[in-house]
Each structure stands twice: as structure tokens, then as C-alpha cells.
Amino acid sequence: MYRLCLIWIGLMSVLSPASAAVRYVAASKLWILETGKTSYALGINELNAVQNVYWGKRLAREEDLSAAHTPRRFAFESDESLANEEYPGWGGMRYAEPCLKVSLDDGTRDVVLKYVSHQVSGEDLEIKLKDIRYDLFVVLHYRVFPHNDIIRKQVSIQNRTGKTVLVESAQSGVWYLPEGDGYRLSYLTGRWAGETQLNREPIQPGKKVLESRRGNTSHQANPWFAIDYQGAADEEHGRVWFGALGWSGNWKMVVEQASNRQVRVVAGYNDFDFGYSLKNGESLDTPPLYGGFTDQGFGESSRILHRFEREQILPDRAAPHVRPVLYNSWEATTFHVDEAGQKQLAEKAAKIGVELFVMDDGWFGQRNDDKAGLGDWSVNPKKFPNGLKSLIDSVNKLGMKFGLWVEPEMVNPNSDLYRAHPDWAIHFNDRPRTESRNQCILNMARDDVKEHIFSVLDKLVSENNIAFLKWDMNRHFTEPGWPEAAVPEQRKLWVKYANNVYEVIDRLRAKHPGMEIESCSGGGGRVDLGILQRVDQVWTSDNTEAFDRLSIQNGFSQAYAPKVMMAWVTDVPNMNGRSTSLQYRFLVSMMGSLGIGANLNHWTDADFTLASRMVGYYKRIRNTVQQGDLHRLFSPLQGELTANQYVSKDGKQAVLFAFLHSQQFRYPAPTIYLRGLDERALYRVESIDGKLEGKLKTVSGSYLMNRGLDFKLGGDFDGAMVILERVADR
């Protein structure tokens, strides 16, 4: 029966063009891009430009859409500026943020793009545009992900003018919201130890610029946005348009409400200090820009992104698997690592169920603090007289995989590498080389530097049984010079650097297929959909204090899947002086990909017992947390409670985490209504800590979602967890 169904679905998709993900309707000159629940339509207007026509909930009938049509002229505006062009160049009478700005070598700085041709193939659409005078082409690539309700835009700028063209701004595209005002923007900002803080504010006339000028994605802003209609959406309801950029270099997102009350989001390479010269025949590809729509609120917009990341972005997308429980030595030992100390920690970690043991900074060169050693990736013989082998063998014998910290893009001036190749560091001639954390950045845009880094890492991984690299990057760019390159090429550094980081990771993974990678940049400084295509997880923040983590994780989860969100249980008092119980710290970390970063040498027997128990629970629920649907029930940004619920893909298990920040006036914690369950199914209720009120054993989904659950939470920083197993359908 199942087979028959598949054949039928297959036949239908061949026979009925109306079910294709991309269709061209010749009569109205419209392309309709369709996902399961959304439609995106664009067409050729009277001016022969490609214009956006619709983005929102899936439309039942394409005939209802009229052809692209330039709006009525308005004094001081032009038809083209009002037309919601899919890829406006800076040229003619256009004043909103452009997608493309170029300078030709005869001094011309005007580009006006018109439709030339298109090609539809399966889930892909390519539209070719050309400047009205020059052979400067722009190919718009659209990819529809029908099952994920996501559309990807990517653009290729091709110079066939016979001359050199300087690209001054290259954006991946623009998303247009339905006309009108009253929209609200959600976005993520922060800083080191305070990443991914969620902001919400009304969109007003003018521009809001989110960006990084720091060379990588940055802690300060993250390339994700969500816009809701009338500022009325909540976690469960309301229209939300959202998007994210897949780029780990300088990026920019401009949210603009133009004078015609048109809200638009332009995103791509940051055009600040940008300059990418294209010789005749050369082209420049922009990063991928993703977008989606839901009418079911912020919760669903996040779940769409999470599913999309798991199924289309992450390296294990073809066969997703759960992340291992990890131990990392950083907070326990800092730079003071050695064979005996790491072995001791490894033995203790293995006892509580850790599956991946990661040795952090300090194992190489003269790395005794952060002043020396970066660049010299050979094992420090004093700390590891037997090389890494003896430690790795012990870790493996304990049943764990071994992982290692590296920071390949960096160099301390106090290192053999810097002494041999001072010109490899990013710099301007005769200018200071600002150090940050006592280090400079190797110019990965240079092919010789890239090859060096590849071969160092390749050797390290080939010679040792390394299953995992924590790839760190502990500073941002300054003095971004590349004096060895010809002047017109020097600013390519911004793009080539990030692309070469990608290339090294891709080549390493191809050569060492079993090896996994975590992206870290002094915490969460390099988290985006570009790096996530090539790493399995990211380090969320160097701030591992559990209460602070609630809001960092809340922001993170707006855009990124809990599966990639590394969360460690560490010691208290933590960096801000706060102390919380070990149980609370475990519960917070169990909402993502669990790690332990505490100094196990300081733990009591009771700590080990509790930790083993919690790791045991985590292994029971991790498939649900990592691969299931997240419902944010109470936000840490409002009120005294935070609550998150996860429902497994097959609906058989759900997990609820609840945290009370600080009880006042003896008020009981508010009732928590669950979501995403089957009203008629029965669930066995297991309160792992006895904090659930009442003696519930087996209850219906209807009870859980409508009557809800109450908890005995009190004092400061209390937490609870309930596991629900679906036992029967009523």
C-alpha cells in the first residue's frame, strides 16, 4: 500500500504541473514558487524588470494572481523604484537599498537590470538579468525546499563587458513584505558572553542595519530576522516572515521601510569596505539567503528553521543522528593540560556516561597562557612526552571518542610560525598590527596560507585518532590589509578569507569523513547557516552560567536548532558570581546538546551520582530534544518562569523543562499548558524530580494541553523536568 502511494505521488508530480515546486505561467509571465504551505510569486513587469508579486501563505489558485504590474507613479519617485524589483541595481531613479552597485572602468556607476531569460528545473529557477547597456549579467538562483517551507536565493554576478568591473555592493537578494506599515522586527544581538539576545521593536520609516564588520559572523549581531504583522504574533499565532543569511564573513541586513510604506529586507555581503573587482569573464557568487513564512507565530517559524537545518543544512543532513555527550577540559584546566591530568579527567568523565572527550587549549607549542604558541601546532613534549597517542588510546579504551581544540586561523607573534612568516598575518604596510588576546589573524585569503593550514590540520588528524575538532577563532579583524596582492585585489580579502575557511573545512571533512567539527569563536561568534553547512555543532557562548544561558539559549533557538547548541554544565560560582544547583545546571544544558565542562576533580560522590543520573535521562530524551519540535512555553524575557517543551518527531515522547527564576510573595508558579501533543492520546507522566504537583500517572494530551501542569517550584533558580511517553491512543 505504502509503495502504491509513493508511485501515485510520483506519477502525480510528473503529470500535473500544478504540483511542481516551480512553475512558469506564460500567460501572466509569472513564476510561482511553492512549498507545502507557502507561495512566492514573481513576474516580468511592463518595464521588463523582474518584480516580486507575492510572499505568504500558499495560494489555492495561481489564476488569482495578476501579472507583475508597476504601481502608479508618484511625484519624486519612479515606476521602477515602486515596483518591488527582485534584484534592483543602483541605477536609474532608485533610492532604496540596492542589491547591486558597480563601478565600470570608464567611470560609469549605473546599473539597470532587465529580464533576459529563465530556466526552470525541478525545484530550481534561474532568471538571467542583464544591464541595459553593458554585458553585465546577474543570474538569480532560486531553490525551493517544498517539505521545509523555505526558499533560498543566491546570485551570480557575471562580467562579460570586456573590461574590469568593480563590484561595490553585492547582495543575495531582497525580501518584500506586503505593503503597509505596523510591522515588528525581531533580531538577535549581543556581545562576548552575552550572545543571541532577542530584541523586538516596531519597524519605522527609515533603515535598521544589522551587520558584522568584524570579519566573521560576530557576537554582536546574528544574520537572522523575523518580521510579524501588526506586531501581533506570539509563539503560537500570527503571520511571521523570517530569513537568515548563510555567510560567516562580513554581512549586512538592511530592514527598510521606504517612503511608500514598503518594508523590505536586503541581505548579503557587507558593502562596508567592500570592493570586488571582476575581470572580463569572472563572476562573483553571493552567499545563500533563506526565507520562509508561517501564520503560526514565532514558535513555528523557529521550528521550520530547525527542521530545515537538520534536513538540508547540517553535514549529517542525509542521515541525521544525535550528538554525543561531550566533556571539555577548558574550564577545569585552562592552559594547564598534561597527559596525567587529562587521563584523570577522562576516567571520571567516562564514569558518568560521556561519549566524546575533548582536550581544549594548551596542548601545543609554547602554549602556557594566551601569549604564545598559536600557529605552532605540534604537541608540547613536556606536557605530552608520549605525543597525543597515549592519551587518545586511554580515552578510546574508556569507550569515548577523542576531540581536540584548534585555532587554525590565528598566530601569536610569539610563535615559530610568526617569526618565520610575519607577512602571513593580516596587516597594512608600516601600520600597527593591533593584537587582540595577544594574537594576529593569518591571512586565509592567501592561497599559500590556506594550504599551510590545511596541511597542518590534515597531518594532525591523519596521525592521531581524532574524531572531533573544536575550531576556534578568538578575535575579530583589524587593519584588514593584504599588501602582497595587487591593490585592486586587496579588498577581496573579506570574501576570500571566509571562502577559504569553508574550503579548508570542506577538504578536511572530505578526506576524513568520520571527523566532526564544532564552530567556536570565543563562544558564539561564528554561528550562521554558512558555517552550519560544514560543522556539526557550535559553541553557544563562553558564558556557561545557567541562568544567563536561559536567555542566550532562548535567542539562539529563534534561529538555530537545539541539536547544534552546545551547552555545558560547569562549576559555580560562575563568571557572574552566581551559584545554582548542579541539577539546575544540568536541566538548562539538557535543552540543547549536552556537554560537561566542570572540574570533575572537585566533584563529590553525590555530584557524580546526580550527574550519571542526569546523563542517563539525557540519553533517553536527546533524540526528542535534538531532532524533535521545540515549543517555547514561557520566555525568560518575561515573568518569573522559563519553560520549554520538546516533542519527538514520531510524537511518542515529549519533554518539559521548567525553571523558576525567583519566587516572590509565595506565589505558586503559573500553570504550564503543553503544546504539540495529540489531544486523544494517553501519555505516561514521569516527573524526574518529584516537583510536579499531584500524582499524575497517565493522562490525555487534552489534559496536558488544556488543564496543564503545575509545579512545586520555589526559592531562587529552581528547575523541573517531566518526561511524557505516549502509551496509547484513545
CB closer to ligand GLA out of 405 and 454 = 405
> CA Rg, the chain, in Å?
27
Would you state the cell numbers that stand for residue 101, as one nine-digit string? 552597485
Q: Which H helix or E strand runs over 594?
A: strand 593-596
Q: Is 522 one of the binding residues for ligand GLA (CB under 6 A)?
A: yes
Would you state the cell numbers that stand for residue 354, as one nine-digit string? 560521556
Please say whether the beta carbons of 81 and 95 come within 8 A. yes
Of 34-42, 416-424, 428-436, 516-524, the window that binds ligand GLA (rule: CB under 6 A) is 516-524
Of 46-54, 314-322, 378-386, 519-527, the window that binds ligand GLA (rule: CB under 6 A) is 519-527
Q: Which of 615, 538, 543 minimizes the C-alpha distance to 349? A: 615
Cβ 313 to ligand GLA shortest distance, Å: 22
Cβ 442 to ligand GLA shortest distance, Å: 17
Is residue 667 classed as helix, strand or coil in its secondary structure?
coil
Give Cα 89 to chain centroid, integer Å: 28
Cβ 195 to ligand GLA shortest distance, Å: 11
Cβ 326 to ligand GLA shortest distance, Å: 12
Cβ 521 to ligand GLA shortest distance, Å: 7
Of 7-15, 32-40, 338-346, 518-526, the window that binds ligand GLA (rule: CB under 6 A) is 518-526
Q: Is 364 one of the binding residues for ligand GLA (CB under 6 A)?
A: no
Cβ 330 to ligand GLA shortest distance, Å: 5
Of 99-107, 231-239, 515-523, 653-661, the window that binds ligand GLA (rule: CB under 6 A) is 515-523
Neighbours of 394 (CB within 10 A): 18
Cβ 622 to ligand GLA shortest distance, Å: 22
Would you state the cell numbers that stand for residue 696, as one nine-digit string? 499524575
Q: Which H helix or E strand runs over 510?
A: helix 493-511
CB closer to ligand GLA out of 165 and 453 = 453
- Within 103-162, the residues that bind ligand GLA by CB under 6 A are none
CB closer to ligand GLA out of 238 and 522 = 522
CB closer to ligand GLA out of 405 and 468 = 405
Single out the catalytic residue among 131, 149, 360, 542: 542
Cβ 193 to ligand GLA shortest distance, Å: 10
CB closer to ligand GLA out of 266 and 391 = 391
CB closer to ligand GLA out of 456 and 469 = 469
CB closer to ligand GLA out of 149 and 472 = 472
- Within 537-596, the residues that bind ligand GLA by CB under 6 A are 539, 542
Cβ 519 to ligand GLA shortest distance, Å: 11
What single string gives the DSSP state of each residue in 58-104?
Answer: PPS-GGGSPPP-PPPP-TTS-TGGGS-BSS-BS-SS--SPPSEEEEE
Is residue 625 classed as helix, strand or coil in its secondary structure?
helix
Cβ 456 to ligand GLA shortest distance, Å: 18
Q: Which of 281, 297, 287 minimizes the C-alpha distance to 267? A: 287
What single string gives the DSSP state of each residue in 308-364?
Answer: HIIIIISTTTTS--PPPPEEE-HHHHTT---HHHHHHHHHHHHHTT--EEEE-S-SB
- Within 279-338, the residues that bind ligand GLA by CB under 6 A are 330
Would you state the cell numbers that stand for residue 328, as one nine-digit string? 571539555
Q: How far is CA 260 from CA 46, 78, 175, 181, 452, in A?
A: 20, 11, 16, 10, 53
CB closer to ligand GLA out of 130 and 475 = 475
CB closer to ligand GLA out of 539 and 603 = 539
710 counts as catalytic: no
CB closer to ligand GLA out of 101 and 526 = 526
Would you state the cell numbers that stand for residue 525, as one nine-digit string? 561568534
Q: Is 472 one of the binding residues for ligand GLA (CB under 6 A)?
A: yes
Binding-site size, ligand GLA (CB under 6 A): 11
CB closer to ligand GLA out of 175 and 539 = 539
CA distance linking residue 440 with residue 433, whole number of Å: 7
CA distance linking residue 520 with residue 441, whole number of Å: 15
Q: Which of 28, 474, 557, 642 binds ligand GLA (CB under 6 A)?
A: 474
Please say whether the beta carbons of 721 and 587 come within 8 A. yes
Residue showing the smallest CB distance to ligand GLA in the complex: 361
CA distance linking residue 343 with residue 393, whole number of Å: 10
Whether the ω angle into residue 202 lies within 30 degrees of 0, i.e. cis, is no
Give Cα 521 to chain centroid, integer Å: 13
Binding mask 400-429 for ligand GLA (x = CB under 6 A): -----x------------------------
CB closer to ligand GLA out of 242 and 471 = 471
393 counts as catalytic: no
CA distance linking residue 493 with residue 495, whole number of Å: 6
**b/e code 9-48 from CB counts within 10 Å (16+ = b):** eeeeeeeeeeebbbbbbeebbbbbbbbebbbbbbbbbebe
Cβ 438 to ligand GLA shortest distance, Å: 11
Q: Which of 271, 309, 361, 718 binds ligand GLA (CB under 6 A)?
A: 361
Instruction: Give ∠ CA 295-301-304 in degrees, rounded to 5.
Output: 115
- Within 328-357, the residues that bind ligand GLA by CB under 6 A are 330
Would you state the cell numbers that stand for residue 24, as one nine-digit string? 512558469
Of 193-201, 336-344, 520-528, 573-581, the window that binds ligand GLA (rule: CB under 6 A) is 520-528
Of 35-43, 111-119, 316-324, 517-525, the window that binds ligand GLA (rule: CB under 6 A) is 517-525
3-state SS, 200-258, equals EEECCCEEEEEEECCCCCCCCEEEEEEEEHHHCCCCCCECEEEEEECCCCCEEEEEEEC
Instruction: Give ∠ CA 48-51-54 in degrees, rounded to 5.
Output: 145
Q: Is 520 one of the binding residues for ligand GLA (CB under 6 A)?
A: yes
Q: Is 518 one of the binding residues for ligand GLA (CB under 6 A)?
A: no
Q: Which of 98, 173, 243, 523 binds ligand GLA (CB under 6 A)?
A: 523
Single out the catalytic residue among 376, 472, 528, 718: 472
Please say whether the beta carbons of 569 and 513 come within 8 A. no
Cβ 280 to ligand GLA shortest distance, Å: 44
CB closer to ligand GLA out of 263 and 337 = 337
Q: Is 703 one of the binding residues for ligand GLA (CB under 6 A)?
A: no
Q: Is 195 one of the binding residues for ligand GLA (CB under 6 A)?
A: no
CA distance linking residue 404 with residue 359, whole number of Å: 5
Please say whether the beta carbons of 647 and 625 come within 8 A. no
Cβ 409 to ligand GLA shortest distance, Å: 13
Q: Would you give the end-to-end CA distance of the chain in angstroms?
A: 25
Q: Which of 360, 516, 518, 528 binds ligand GLA (CB under 6 A)?
A: 360
Residues in contact with ligand GLA by CB under 6 A are 330, 360-361, 405, 472, 474, 520, 522-523, 539, 542
The residues annotated with a catalytic role in the active site are 472, 542
